[in-house]
C-alpha cells in the first residue's frame, strides 16, 4: 500500500515571494512516480510537475521546482515568485511504475497568495 501525507492543510504567501509545500510518502515499490497537481477555485485539476523516482535530478517547470529526497521519502514543491493565479489546492500524489496504475493522493494544501 502507498500513503501520502501533506502536513500543511493551509498556507499563505505574499505575491512575488517563495513558498514550499511539504509532502512525504511511503511506498514499497522501487519504481514509482511522484506528481504535484493544482486545483484552482475553478475546480479543474491540472498537473504542475512530475518526478521519476529513479532520477536524482530534481524536476523543474518554470517557477515550480521540487526537492526530492528519496531516502527520506520527501517530495516538496517550491513555488518561486508567487503569483495570484497560484492560489489553489495543491495535491501531492504517488503512482507505482506502470503508467496505468492509480494515483494515491495526499490530503492537499490550500495555498493563498496575497497581494
For other proteins, the closer CB: 46 or 71: 46
For other proteins, the closer CB: 102 or 115: 102
First to last CA, the chain: 41
Backbone angles phi, psi at 3, to 5 degrees: -135, 150
Supply 37's cell numbers: 497537481
Residues at the site binding other proteins, with contacts judged by CB under 8 A: 4, 31, 33, 35, 37, 42-47, 50, 52, 91, 97-100, 102-108
For other proteins, the closer CB: 16 or 47: 47
Alpha-carbon dihedral 101, 72, 62, 93, rounded to 10 degrees: 30
Shortest spacing between CB 33 and other proteins, in angstroms? 6
Amino acid at each position: 500500500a502507498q500513503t501520502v501525507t501533506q502536513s500543511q492543510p493551509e498556507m499563505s504567501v505574499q505575491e512575488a515571494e517563495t513558498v514550499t509545500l511539504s509532502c512525504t510518502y511511503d511506498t514499497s515499490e522501487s519504481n514509482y512516480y511522484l506528481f504535484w497537481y493544482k486545483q484552482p477555485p475553478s475546480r479543474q485539476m491540472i498537473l504542475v510537475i512530475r518526478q521519476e523516482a529513479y532520477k536524482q535530478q530534481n524536476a523543474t517547470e518554470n517557477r515550480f521546482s521540487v526537492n526530492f529526497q528519496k531516502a527520506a521519502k520527501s517530495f516538496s514543491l517550491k513555488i518561486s515568485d508567487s503569483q495570484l493565479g497560484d492560489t489553489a489546492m495543491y495535491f501531492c500524489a504517488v503512482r507505482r511504475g506502470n503508467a496505468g496504475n492509480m494515483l494515491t493522493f495526499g490530503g492537499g494544501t490550500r495555498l493563498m497568495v496575497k497581494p
